[in-house]
Every structure is written in structure tokens, then in C-alpha cells.
Chain A
Amino acid sequence: MQLVLEKRTERSNTIALVSPLIAIGLTIVTMTILFAILGKNPLLALQAYFVAPLTDGYSLQEIAVKATPLVMIAIGLSLCYLANAWNIGAEGQFLIGAVAGSWIAVKTQGTDAGAWVLPVMLVLAAAAGALYALIPAICKVKFGASEILTSLMLVYVADLLLDYLVRGPWRDPNGFNFPTTADFDPVATVPVLIEGGRLHLGSIIALLVVAAAAILLGRTIKGFEIRVVGAAPRAARFGGFNANQLIILTFAVSGALAGLAGIIEVAGPVGHLQPGISPGYGFTAIIVAFLGRLNPVGILIAGLFLALTFIGGEQAQIAMKIPLDVTKVFQGILLFYVLACDSLILYRFKLVFPNRQVARGAG
């Protein structure tokens, strides 16, 4: 008896939907073992991770708040990945967007600037994110430089730029020397949806982005171009689609969305610019994009799920003293299983009994 991986004649749509669930299941099993090894009660730990955050209103809002940047970034990344352009630097584009938008907020601080401030911040952040993402895209198209490396390296440039600004020119004079800008004025702040709550306008924007991406990919010729260029480059060229143009376009869009997510995070839940505004949103969004099958609706669900692990991780740390890094381990294992389970879309497992099988084949 033998277990073989056998190619399917056509991709299985059922498995395409179920595979993320299998991956989540396997991740939970692995985490259970890990908790047991750490000497924690696995059931309580899982309860803290996945159930507790869903039981109170504050946590539910917080999940939506965390999911907002993840979903927005992941939507942009999914466009890149579908077009076979590997933007790994969303974290940097997120930070640059936050910096560029904050520039307006800092410059108008304490003046009686009107309601134009926030829209201009959003536009500027998106533009900055897009321009920043265009650096690796243009290097790729013009010089053939690996966009994986260049986009990743630019993350550290953005990180250090932000660090310099909040420790230097933009530091709050009344901030007791903490590396942070002053809290933004109300006109430079993303409004909350429920008075006294945490849920903010950014979540609505994220939903609009999901809807727009679904229409783009499902109904328009541009979305079709993106999919063909990634799936079959030579056929795309035969179809008259220009792969280089799409690398530029998808990088720009994903950079813009990451930049937008950056300023929404700073001008929303955080309220000022400081180092550490992102617990790795730009990287976690890569997991969200793949867990969501590079599909806009899938990404929305995956973003909420990953947000749950962030919140659950915090709760587990508070309640059971499980280190916060376990959350990152969790996310890494999850990505691993997602990619592994994806092979089941094109392949299936089969038990082979060599002798009997052949007897049937011959007969």
C-alpha cells in the first residue's frame, strides 16, 4: 500500500474553498501540541485565543480595527501576486504613507486649518505609498532587479526615516523626550463610527476597497489582464497584454493601499506618529492574502481571522502569560499550512494497492 499524490485533470474548486479551513485546522492541532510543550493547558489557551475575543464588544471592535490595515494591504498585495509581481515591502509602503500623511498633520498642528486636512492626508499618504512601491517596480522593469529583494530592503529605509523624524524634527516639544509627534488635531483624525468606541471610518474604506477589488478582478478586462499575466505570461503577451505595465500598475496600487492603511492607522487608533505603529501589518498581510486565496472576499475573512489571532494573543499573554511571540509562530505555521494545502487544489491523495489495482486495470 502506498500513498501517492496524483494530478487532477482540473483544479478543484471545492478544495480551493476548503483548503484554508484545513490549514487552520492543522495549525490549531500544531498549536495545541505547542501549548502542551510550553506547559500551558491547551484548551484554555485556545479558548483565550479564539473564543474570548469574540465574546465582548470591545474585542469585537478591536478585531475590526486590526483587520482594517491587514485587509487593505492584502488586497493590494493580492493584485501584485496575481500578476506575478512579488511585493514583499508593503510594511515600508505602510510606514511611508504614515509619514507622508503625518507631515500635513504636523504642519497644520494648532492652526485653524479646516476639514480639508484629513482628505489631503489620505491622498498624500496613498501617493507616497505608490511612489515608494514604484522604486522596486521600476528597478524590476528597467534593470531586471529582483523586486522581492528591493521591496524588502526598502522596508528598513522607511522604518529608519520614521525613526529619525519622530526623534528629530517632528518630536513633540511637550512630549517628555519620547520619540513621538504631538497628538493630531481633530481635523487630522479619522472619525470613529460609534461615539466612545474604537471602530473608525477606515473600516468602511477597507470594505469599499474589497468591493472595488472584487469588481476589478471579476468583471473588468484590466482584472483579467492581471490574472493572465500571472497565470500564463506568454499567453498574456499573445493576448496583447504588457506584463511590465502591469508590474508598475499593481505595485503602484498596492503601495497606495498600504500607504492609505498607514495614515489611517496613525490618524485613527494611534492618534500620533511614533515608532512601532505597525506590529508587522505589512508582513502579516502576505499571510492574509494567501489565506484568502488572493480573492477579495477571502481576504476580508482571512483579515478578520488574523486580527483575531492578534487580539487573542494579547489576551493569552495577559491571562496565561503566553509570550506574544507565540502569535507570530502561529501566523508562520498558518502560512506554511496554507501553502502546503494549496497543492491539494491541483493534486489529490490516493491510496494505491499495486497488485489489485493492476488486476482491475487489465480487466
Chain B
Amino acid sequence: MPAYQRMLDPTPNGPHSGESPLLTTVGLTKRYGDFLANDSIDIDVWPNEIHALLGENGAGKSTLVKAIYGLIQPSAGEIRWRGERIVLSGPSEARSRGIGMVFQHFSLFDNLTVAENVALGLDGRESFRDMSARLEQVSKTYGLPLDPKREVWQLSVGERQRIEIVRALMQDPKFLILDEPTAVLTPQEADQLFVVLERLKAEGRAILYISHKLEEVKRLCDTATILRGGRKIQTCNPRRETAASLARMMVGGEIREVKAAAGRQTTIPRLVVNDLSLPPDEPHGIRLEHISFELKGGEILGIAGVAGNGQDELFAALSGERLSNDPGTVVIEGIAAGHLSITKRRKLGAAFVPEERLGHGTAPRMKLSENALLTGHAASGMVHHGFIDTAATLQTVDKATETFDVRKAKRDPEAASLSGGNLQKFIVGREILRSPAVLVVSQPTWGVDAGAAAVIRQALLDLASAGAAVLVTSQDLDELAEIADRIAVMFHGRLSAPLAASEATREKLGLLMGGSSLEPREAAHAVGA
């Protein structure tokens, strides 16, 4: 392309001469009450392009793609398909025009086979046998191996995602939306997915790729549109940007660095798990098998793994939401606690932060002071002779607000009215203010904005350096690399031997997350570390 033509090209990364964009949004706006989820967003997505939609949680990415996929109606603005204005009545119309979508949360029936699940998502004009044959062919063509006859509950998360992708591809979409597809994949599985996406792009399709992982966007995408607070900040070529410059656009400022305090000491073991096995409590739940680890004071142990490999079950067993018949399986501060209730474990000095903020960590429609009481009633002097000390509960709210910079509209609002990041800061703060000996925390920064995530990670580091034992379960390998001293991996209800953080490379963790074991020599070395 001659230089003058490049200069006239309206898109920043150039090479779309002679074509028109496949899909355009013009001033797309979606309003929920007073809240503008999308504020007049313009994007162009071209054929042969992988277009990233970058932004923090709550930036409006999901709202935008839901409008494009016909799941919600925009309040204003329009969507143009090949230059022509369209109004989508629903996802089936979007699909019939050639727009496909793979959701972050799968909509699959566990008890049905792969083929039956795919059939349910199609319009059913072809026979089941033809459909199955086509399914096998599509999955072969794109290198997405699937056995149509297997039932979904037997499959890994990566395989389930393949079903969703194949289901979308069977409709031959010209435009495919993927919502955070790598969130549930191991690094190796993600690499395989990228090969598939490159191939789809080469076939002339357009891909809209939602993510907040900067490195993979730089690697994979031709164009990136950055959203923040419902507005479009910029469209750029991610390969010409640095991860830091993309992060600045996403967050709108610099992110605080997290630092471990000096002088962290490893003392006596404060949390010990001995050969913990637990049968699942629901039909397709995960069985915990022979889990053992030891966690000393001043130490942070990270547990990596793809979601659904037993992390929730482990959390329930550690917190006492599920009890074990053998008291010795969970030892808190030297006391066998496997048979003790969550309240008694809290009295031993343990504190817990579950993954789900609303409905598990807090009662959404109750005030923060009441939510302070929820976990503080056991051991924080908030209850005298059965009567609640309201002043003490409010004091906890004020302290957490001050120490962890919780932003809220009034002194004591309902939990549900806080943003995800602020509520998570409150929940983590509520537990840390009790000065726990052991903190078990699951997905501490899931869906939290970068500023809040930094505050929370720093708080965990500070708690450890004050002598507490901290167990962090996370799917975010970068997060674990940042704060954990040792990292173990959960796979199919088993926990690998922990690796020292310095030796836990993405490749090694990825292998463990996929169920492979490391070389014997290496594994032995890791145990010694």
C-alpha cells in the first residue's frame, strides 16, 4: 500500500482498503436506569481481523457484545451489518445473519452428550445423524477434537469450551464473538485456541475478542478498542502499544505496585491439611483426593488451577461449611478441626473469604454493619449475652472503610449497592481486621478493578508479613506469581506438590493444570524447595 493511501486510511492499523467494515456500531448506547453501561460507542470490525475489546470489569464490554448479539436492545445508536442498519430481534436473528458468540459461562447440559448439546443450539432442520457427522467434520477441520457421544459432565472445562466454539462454527459465522475465552484455560490450551482463531481469521472471518489480559491481546489481536466506564477510550493497534500503555488506557491512571514487606519469617505451621479426602456432595461434583499441605506463619501458598477442579470443595472443607469425619484432616493452630463448624474454626483464629461476594461472602440486601456481624459474631466482641453491640459492628465498618479505602455513598449502605471492588475490599478488610492466624481466600481479585486489586494483594502480603498463614486460590497466574511464596496446582480434586514461586514457570504450572505431572527429578526438587 502506498504511503499516501495509508495516511488517508481512517483506521489506525491500515490495511482495509477496498473493503467495507463487516460490522459497525454508531453511537451505541445502553442505559440501565441512571447508569450508562455503554455511552455512545463507535467501533468498526473488519473481515480478516481479530479485534480486541479491552477493559476492566464494568467497562461495558459485555453490554456491547450482548447488544451486537441481539440479547439486549440498545437504548440509542445503531448497529450496521455490511453497511446496512439492522435491528436484531434476538440471538437467533443474529445467528441467521452470521453473528456467533461463545459465552464465558457455558450453557451446556451436564447429562446430555456433546452431540445432543450441539443439536439443542441449532435450529434442528437437519437430522441428528447428519448433524453429528457435520459436528465431527467441523471439529476435525479446525483441530478441535470432540467425541460427539460423550456426556458433558465427563469433560474438562477446555473441552466444554470446544463444544461451544464448534457449536458456533457449525453455523458458519462471519463474525464471532468470544467472551474471555482464556479465563478457563491452561496456558497450553490457550495457545491451541489461538491457532484456531488465527485460522478463522485467515478464512476471512472477523473475531471480536473480549479480554483483560494485555499480553495475549498484544500477541493475537490486530486491533484493540479500549473501553472504560462505558465509554470508548481509543482504538489502536495493540502491537504498537506496550502492556503498560494499554493498562493506562484501561485503568485511566497508573496502578500501584505491590510490594512484599521485608523480614517475613516462616515460623510454626498454622494450617495443616493431612490426607483430606471428601466425596462430592452433588451429582457431578469433584471428589477431593488425598490433599495434604502445610502452611507456616508468614507464608502465602497459592493454589492455581482451572475452575471446577475442586477449589470450591476445598474451600468448603477448609472453612467448615462441609465437615470431615476425621478431625485430623484439617489442623488449625495445632488443633484438629476437621469436625468443627465454621464458627468454631473462626474462634481458633481462622478467617475465610469466599469467591462469590454477593450471596456467599455477604447478604446482599443487608447493611455493611450486619455483614460485619455475619462473620464477626463468633469472636469479635460484637455480641454480649445474645444481644448485638451495634456500635461495635459500625466500628468495624468504619475501620475497614478507612484502612482499605472502601468507597460508598453513606456510612452504612447495603452490601449490594457497593461496586465489586469496594465490596471485596470491605470483605477482605472485615476478615483482616480480626487479625486472623490463618486466612483462606478464594479468587481475591476476581472481577475487581485494578486499583482495588492492588489494595487487596498488598493487604494479603502485609497480613502474611505480620505472621499469618495465607492460602490464596486463584485462576490468575500473574496474581499468584506476584504474591505467593509457593504455588500448588489443583487438578481433578488432587493437589500437586507446591513449587517455590521462583521455579513455578507458566509452562510448569500449565502442565500441572492440564493434568500432566512434571519430570520426577523436577518434582522431587520442588518438594524439597
Chain A interfacial positions (CB closer than 8 Å to B):
6-7, 9-11, 219-222, 224, 227-228, 231-232, 234-240, 350, 354-355, 357-358, 361-362
Q: Are A361 and B363 in contact (CB under 8 A)?
A: no
Distance, CA A361 to CA B34, complexed state (A) = 9
User: Is there a chain A Cβ closer than 8 Å to B342's Cβ?
Assistant: yes
Q: A238-B352, A238-B354, A362-B39 are in contact. Are A228 and B374 (CB under 8 A)?
A: yes
Query: Who on chain B is nearest to A347 by CB?
Result: B33
Q: Are B359 and A232 in contact (CB under 8 A)?
A: yes
Distance, CA A361 to CA B230, complexed state (A) = 12
Distance, CA A24 to CA B388, complexed state (A) = 35
Distance, CA A231 to CA B414, complexed state (A) = 13
User: 11 interchain pairs (CB within 8 A)?
Assistant: A221-B373, A221-B388, A224-B388, A228-B370, A235-B359, A235-B362, A235-B374, A236-B374, A358-B29, A361-B76, A362-B39
Q: What 5 pairs across the A-B complex have the smallest Cβ distances? A: A358-B76, A240-B343, A232-B363, A239-B374, A235-B363
Q: A357-B75, A361-B36 are in contact. Are A224 and B362 (CB under 8 A)?
A: no
Query: Who on chain A is nearest to B38 by CB?
Result: A361
Of B32, B342, B360, B361, which is within 8 A of A240 by CB?
A: B342
User: Is there a chain A Cβ closer than 8 Å to B40's Cβ?
Assistant: yes
Q: Which of B114-122, B279-287, B375-383 forms contacts with chain A?
A: B375-383
User: Is there a chain A Cβ closer than 8 Å to B14's Cβ?
Assistant: no
Distance, CA A362 to CA B27, complexed state (A) = 8
Distance, CA A357 to CA B29, complexed state (A) = 11
> Given contacts A10-B416, A232-B362, A237-B342, could you give 6 more A-B pairs where the C-beta distance is less than 8 Å?
A9-B416, A221-B387, A238-B374, A354-B75, A361-B39, A361-B40
Q: A358-B75, A361-B39 are in contact. Are A231 and B365 (CB under 8 A)?
A: yes
Q: Is the interface of A mostly helix, strand, loop or mixed?
A: helix
Query: Who on chain B is nearest to A358 by CB?
Result: B76
For A222, list chain B residues within 8 Å (CB).
386
Query: Who on chain A is nearest to B342 by CB?
Result: A240
Q: Are A240 and B386 in contact (CB under 8 A)?
A: no
Chain B interfacial positions (CB closer than 8 Å to A):
27, 29, 31-33, 36, 39-40, 75-77, 319-321, 341-343, 346, 352, 354, 356, 359-366, 370-371, 373-375, 377-378, 383, 386-388, 413-414, 416-417
Give the one of B341, B386, B414 with max A CB within 10 A: B386
Q: A224-B373, A232-B366, A240-B346 are in contact. Are A361 and B31 (CB under 8 A)?
A: yes
Q: Are A228 and B386 in contact (CB under 8 A)?
A: no
Query: Who on chain B is nearest to A222 by CB?
Result: B386
Q: Are A6 and B33 in contact (CB under 8 A)?
A: yes
For A234, list chain B residues within 8 Å (CB).
356, 359-360
For B374, list chain A residues within 8 Å (CB).
228, 235-236, 238-239
Give the shortest distance, in Å, between B394 (CB) and chain A (any CB). 14
For B364, list chain A residues within 8 Å (CB).
232
Q: Are B386 and A220 in contact (CB under 8 A)?
A: yes
Of A11, A235, A237, which is within 8 A of B414 by CB?
A: A11
For B33, list chain A residues within 8 Å (CB).
6-7, 350
For A9, list chain B residues within 8 Å (CB).
416-417
Give the shortest distance, in Å, between B187 (CB) and chain A (any CB). 32
Query: Who on chain B is nearest to A228 by CB?
Result: B363
Q: Are A221 and B383 in contact (CB under 8 A)?
A: yes
Give the one of B27, B76, B414 with max A CB within 10 A: B76
Query: Who on chain B is nearest to A4 by CB?
Result: B33
